[in-house]
Structure 1
Amino acid sequence: MTGQARARAHEVLSVPSRIAILDRLRACAEPMDAHRVAAQVGLHVTTVRFHLSALIDVGLVTEHSERTGGRGRPRTVYSASWTAEPESGPYQELAELLAAHLADTPALRAQRAEQVGAEWARQRLRSFPSAAGAPDAQAALTMLFTEMGFDPEQAGDGRILLHACPFRATAQAHPEVVCGAHRALLRAALARLDPGAPAPDLHAFVRPDLCVITAHGSTPVPEGR
């Protein structure tokens, strides 16, 4: 995605209703039509179609026609368009080989992964809008990780829940590389978005389907939950 396209995607995701629509599409195992989306997010179907059009324009949602078996016109259905890393195949094999041979030892691989993550942040944030203060920074981080395919959710207590990892298979095999790069990217991003804020923590695979971003020193799951 080019810098101009990233800026447009950030602009589109600045509308909370669009994030809600994208979250519902990501959570559903099958495509949904506009009426079903509208019912789930509590908006008028005309408003939902307007938001869906904006999400389609920046590549976050796809649409296609689906026949229902009757004589009527096929209905239009929508899906979130992010794609996770395949569990097998040549790309997965190449990713694991690159991770394994980044350096000779896990410690050195982790060190180099941090350097990669910091450079990754610089590339990603070239056209990223600046933020002022923790609330805006957290919203900007959520948009960044949405764009990257992590299906993030702001938990309301300072945590950001990452429900998907587009690099899951390689991250499980080589967490010192993949998770290390993501952690460095996260910290470099926050350093730009909220200078002076404590470095955040990335807790990888709190559950098989969940990673958690927290403020430094916080636990991924609050007490009592």
Structure 2
Amino acid sequence: MSKMPQPMTQQMLKTLTDPVRRRLFDFVFASGKPVGRDEAAAAAGISRTLAAYHLDNLGEAGLLAISYARKQGKTGPGAGRPAKLYAPAHQEVSLNVPPRNYRLLGSLLATAAASDDSGVVLRALLAAARSEGIELGESGKDLLDLLHELGYEPVQEENGDITMANCPFHLVARHQTEMVCSMNRELLSGVLTGCRCDARRAELNPAEGRCCVVIHPEA
């Protein structure tokens, strides 16, 4: 009897149970740019050959996107073969047992709020986001740790800014961008208020490939 093919999400989950593959995946995700086998191997403390094997497995599972490029500064004859590069896959993966569809629920609620010409629903949403943020901030957790838990993948920049490499509401934001960005700002403003980070402020500053909100040190 032939085996039924596994859903892709289950294959992804099984792939990440290997600790070496998880270290490699976390490194690639945190890099913010395509990385090669050599730097991934060095970060994980393994050989280049073993890193290549696991990186390719992550690519086959749909967790990493694979591309090819020549080393910077080398072009034309003698430049060598293009290097294999790995970056986080753009698709969003969610595994719920039994199946749930919270993305659809969020999309429907956002569409309903956007259809309310009076603005009452939007104001209620933003107020709820700020209130929830305050409650989360009052948990006593470190700000960066809390942002990680919320799925923002915060990055501490040299100038003191905190940028977010990920938007936890990305799929809904694609269709209701202005609403979700405003909600993000209110949620994070509430977090700053709750954790008494008075020297910081959340500001809308959209850019490609990251969350629309940046947390600045107060001038």
Q: TM-score, normalised by structure 1?
A: 0.49
Contact 1:161 1:210 in 2 (8 A): yes
- Give me the whole-angstrom Cα distance separating, in 1, the residues matched to 2:179 and 2:199: 25
Deviates more, 1:167-176 or 1:206-215: 206-215
Contact 1:191 1:199 in 2 (8 A): no
Please state whether the residue corresponding to 1:102 is helix, strand or coil: helix
Letter in 1 for 2:29: R
- Give me the whole-angstrom Cα distance separating, in 1, the residues matched to 2:112 and 2:159: 39
The match for 1:92 is 103
The match for 1:105 is 117
- Give me the whole-angstrom Cα distance separating, in 2, the residues matched to 1:212 and 1:108: 23
Alignment of 1:24 onto 2:39: no
Q: 5+ residue gaps in structure 2?
A: 1-22, 33-38, 47-56, 58-90, 95-99
Please state whether the residue corresponding to 1:200 is helix, strand or coil: strand
Alignment of 1:213 onto 2:210: no
Letter in 2 for 1:171: A
Please state whether the residue corresponding to 2:214 is helix, strand or coil: strand
> Percent of aligned pairs with the same residue?
25
- Specify the structure having the higher radius of gyration (Cα): 2
Q: Which has the higher contact order (CA 8 A, sep 6+)?
A: 1
Change (3 A) 1:200 1:146: same
Structure-to-structure mapping, 1:99-178, within 5 angstroms: 99-102=110-113, 104-105=116-117, 107-129=119-141, 140-178=142-180
Shift of 1:170: 0.4
Letter in 2 for 1:179: C
Change (3 A) 1:123 1:150: same
Please provide the CA RMSD for this pair: 4.0
Q: TM-score, normalised by structure 2?
A: 0.50
- Give me the whole-angstrom Cα distance separating, in 1, the residues matched to 2:104 and 2:134: 27
Contact 2:154 2:163 in 1 (8 A): yes
Contact 1:110 1:180 in 2 (8 A): no
Change (3 A) 1:173 1:216: farther
Contact 1:117 1:185 in 2 (8 A): yes
Letter in 2 for 1:153: V
Letter in 2 for 1:99: A
The match for 1:40 is 43
Alignment of 1:194 onto 2:205: no
1:129-173 deviations in whole A, cap 9, x for unaligned?
Answer: 3xxxxxxxxxx3322221111222111212212111221010121
Please state whether the residue corresponding to 1:213 is helix, strand or coil: strand
Shift of 1:200: 2.4
Change (3 A) 1:22 1:128: farther
The match for 2:183 is 181
- Give me the whole-angstrom Cα distance separating, in 1, the residues matched to 2:126 and 2:119: 11
